[in-house]
Chains A and B, each alone.
Chain A
Amino acid sequence: QVQLVESGGGVVQPGRSLRLSCVVSGFTFSSYGMHWVRQAPGKGLEWVAVISYDGSNEYYGESVKGRFTITRDNSKNTLFLLMNSLTSEDTAVYYCVKDPRRGGTVAGYSDNWGQGTLVTVSS
C-alpha cells in the first residue's frame, strides 16, 4: 500500500532554516508529482508547493515563494522541502502528498497523504 513518511520537523528559531523529508513506498515515486500541504494548529489546509514527477517543474504558494524550495531524489524515493527565513506564521503540520496523475503535468489534487510532521517556529 502507499506509504508516505515525513520527518525533519521540530522547534526552530525565527529566521532559521529547516529541511523536511518524505520517504515514500508502495508506488513508483519517479512517475508522480508530489505536493507539500500544511495546516497550522486548529486551522485549515494551505497548499505549499508542488514538483513534477521528474523534478523539472515546481510551483509555490504565495506565502512561501522565495523562501521554500521543493526538491526530490527519485533514486531514493524521497521528497524534500527546504524552508528558509522561517517565521511564526510557518508553524504548522506539514504533509507530504501524492498527486494522482502518472507522468506529465500534475493533476493538482491529492489522493494519498502522509501523517505529517510538526514544525514549530519559536524563540
Chain B
Amino acid sequence: DIQMTQSPSTLSASVGDRVTITCRASQSISSWLAWYQQKPGKVPKLLIYKASSLESGVPSRFSGSGSGTEFTLTISSLQPDDFATYYCQQYNSYSLTFGGGTKVEIK
C-alpha cells in the first residue's frame, strides 16, 4: 500500500494566518490526491481533488498544489470556520489510503 504522511499532526494558528499542511506519499501518485475537511462530530467534506482542483462551493482561500510525492494544502487567510482536521487521500491505486490528519487549532 502507498503510505501517506501528513505534517504537522497539529497546528496552532490565528484567524487571518496563512496555513500550509504537507502530505507526502511513499511513492509517486502523479496528481491523484484529494483533501478533506472534517469538523468534530461531522462527516468529511471534499475540498480539493486532483491535487489542485477546487471542489464546487469551496471558498477560494483553499488551494492545493504538488505532484509526484509531495503535496500541500494552503489556507490563505484562516477563518473561524476553518478550525478542523484535514486529511489527504491518494487514489493512484485501488488500495486507497488516507493521511493521518492535521488538526488546525485556535492559537
Least distance between A53 CB and chain B CB atoms (Å): 15
**How many A-B pairs fall under 8 Å by CB?**
55
Closest to B56 in A: A111
Number of A residues contacting the other chain (C-beta, 8 Å)? Answer: 20
Give the docked Cα–Cα distance between A61 and B94 (Å): 9
Q: Is A41 an interface residue (CB 8 A)?
A: no
Least distance between A17 CB and chain B CB atoms (Å): 24
- A contact patch SS: loop
A47 pairs with B87, CB closer than 8 A: no
16 contacts between A and B (CB under 8 A): A44-B98, A45-B36, A45-B38, A47-B89, A47-B95, A59-B95, A107-B91, A108-B96, A109-B34, A109-B46, A109-B49, A109-B91, A109-B96, A111-B46, A113-B45, A115-B43
